[in-house]
């Protein structure tokens, strides 16, 4: 483990290592940057180094303190998540355990309302409520450290603190007890109280390099090279997103479905198309959006291949042959228009227009653009009420 377990983020890691060796540790740090790039992983590693009895720039991994921080049972290290009211304590404890095992895993309640079902979504509001902030943060942090040199609180997704909670926390932050370190993480620093931000040393995290994600998927998840390369490019610099994709068994099936859909669209025959549409539709609205996003990546790969040939950095590397064949066989296809049409279909689906209408209209429009005939936009024969709703939403949003 230790710092070598952190992907990229060299600038941040060297700043923290320096703070440790020079014994100039700030009272509060704000780690900000995109989701899934290792903010929590760095925070945990820093907490481990702070508690390690060797007192160097890195947790030794051997001492009593290191064993406890690794098992997430060190009494001076507190990890907090925002969660919906009424959440089971055991659920929270299990998430903290999982975070200890893999600090890049998505264990928060926003992206993963249910630990056991990665596909589940929820409308419950995820929040740090004042009673929890008092119980889990203000009270424990006001005592001196029990075993270690520091008391550390890792407050993840800190933008989810409501105003009362944030103000109560601010009081503690303004007059921090000695030997306390607050580690705040957020991907939305603009939503924080400026008075909180100004009390923290800010460290910005960058998206990860696709190569780093690719080798981590191979080394840590035992993935095949081709699959790792593809997922790394689909993950947009986020290792957590790549892990999410690994867990999503349906991804490969959905990619097959995308190819089938394009073929069916091109054929302009009712039959392969209508059963393909039924199959996509049957997966539920969230998955339909996922399939449309895959279509978008597929068409963007076509655009890349046409302009760069075999050197194109395709997302669907394992489908390079199919991409090449498509481009060679359909030199007339208006690929830019295809990108626009799929984006429009995604937009309509997000606005709850019926999947069947959208996918059928998209297939007709794609068939024309594949033959080089211009299509301005999708023609979706919406019932009047639905059309009004979409227009109203488009006007406001
Ligand atoms: Zn140690």
- What's the pLDDT tens digit per position in 153-173? 999 999 999 899 999 999 999
Across 4-76, where does the E strand assignment appear?
28-32
What residue segments make up the domains of the chain, in order of their start?
2-206, 211-246, 250-396
CB atoms within 10 A of CB 222: 8
Q: What is the pTM of this model?
A: 0.73
pLDDT at 384 (0 to 100): 64
Considering the domain 2-206, what is its CATH architecture?
3-Layer(aba) Sandwich (3.40)
- Residue-wise pLDDT for 71-124, tens only, equals 999 999 999 999 998 899 899 999 999 999 999 988 988 878 888 876 666 778
Continuous segment of H or E residues that includes residue 361: helix 355-370
Residue 68 CA, ligand 1 centroid: distance in Å: 9
pLDDT at 277 (0 to 100): 92
Of 225 and 46, the structure prediction assigns the larger pLDDT to 46
The bridge status of strand 201-204 relative to strand 28-32 is: parallel
Residue 215 CA, ligand 1 centroid: distance in Å: 28
Residue 63 CA, ligand 1 centroid: distance in Å: 4
pLDDT at 397 (0 to 100): 45
Residue 179 CA, ligand 1 centroid: distance in Å: 18
Q: What is the mean pLDDT of residues 255-263?
A: 89
Q: What distances in angstroms separate CA 358 from CA 272, 293, 342, 344, 352, one per listed residue?
A: 17, 14, 10, 9, 10
- Residue-wise pLDDT for 311-355, tens only, equals 888 888 778 888 999 999 999 999 999 999 999 999 998 888 889
Residue 163 CA, ligand 1 centroid: distance in Å: 38
Residue 284 CA, ligand 1 centroid: distance in Å: 49
**CA 76 – CA 68 distance, rounded (Å):** 10
Residue 17 CA, ligand 1 centroid: distance in Å: 15
Q: Which of the four pLDDT bands, split at 50, 70 and 90, describes residue 374?
A: confident
Residue 62 CA, ligand 1 centroid: distance in Å: 5
* Contact of 110 with 126, CB cutoff 8 Å: yes
Mean pLDDT across the chain, nearest whole number?
89
Q: What percent of the chain stands above pLDDT 70? A: 94
């Amino acid at each position: 483990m230790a710092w070598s377990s952190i992907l990229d983020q060299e600038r941040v890691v060297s700043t923290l290592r320096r703070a440790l060796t020079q014994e100039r540790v700030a009272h509060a740090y704000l780690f900000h940057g995109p989701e899934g790039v290792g903010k929590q992983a760095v925070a945990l590693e820093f907490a481990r180094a702070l508690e390690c009895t060797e007192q160097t720039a890195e947790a030794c991994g051997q001492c009593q303190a290191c064993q406890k921080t690794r098992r997430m049972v060190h009494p001076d290290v507190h990890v907090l998540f925002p969660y919906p009211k009424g959440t089971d304590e055991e659920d929270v404890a299990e998430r903290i355990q999982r975070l200890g095992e893999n600090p890049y895993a998505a264990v928060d309640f926003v992206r993963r309302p249910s630990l056991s079902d990665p596909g589940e979504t929820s409308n419950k509001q995820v929040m740090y409520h004042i009673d929890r902030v008092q119980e889990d943060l203000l009270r424990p942090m006001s005592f001196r450290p029990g075993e270690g040199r520091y008391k550390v609180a890792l407050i993840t997704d800190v933008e989810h603190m409501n105003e009362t909670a944030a103000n109560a926390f601010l009081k503690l932050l303004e007059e921090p007890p000695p030997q306390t370190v607050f580690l705040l993480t957020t991907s939305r620093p603009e939503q924080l109280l400026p008075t909180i931000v100004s009390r923290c040393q800010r460290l910005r995290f960058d998206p990860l390099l696709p190569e780093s994600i690719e080798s981590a998927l191979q080394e840590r998840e035992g993935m095949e090279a081709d699959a790792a390369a593809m997922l790394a490019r689909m993950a947009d610099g986020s290792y957590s997103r790549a892990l999410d994709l690994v867990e999503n068994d349906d991804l490969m099936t959905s990619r097959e479905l995308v190819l089938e859909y394009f073929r069916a669209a091109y054929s302009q025959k009712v039959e392969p198309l209508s059963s393909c549409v039924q199959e996509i539709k049957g997966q539920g609205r969230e998955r339909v959006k996922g399939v449309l996003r895959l279509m978008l990546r597929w068409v963007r790969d076509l655009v890349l291949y046409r302009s760069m040939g075999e050197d194109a950095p395709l997302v669907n590397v394992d489908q390079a042959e199919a991409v090449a064949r498509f481009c060679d066989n359909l030199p007339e296809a208006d690929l830019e228009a295809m990108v626009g049409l799929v984006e429009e279909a995604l937009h309509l689906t997000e606005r709850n227009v019926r999947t069947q209408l959208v996918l059928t209209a998209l297939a007709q429009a794609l068939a024309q653009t594949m033959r080089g005939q211009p299509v301005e936009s999708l023609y979706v024969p919406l019932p009047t009420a639905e059309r009004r709703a979409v227009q109203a939403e488009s006007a406001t949003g």
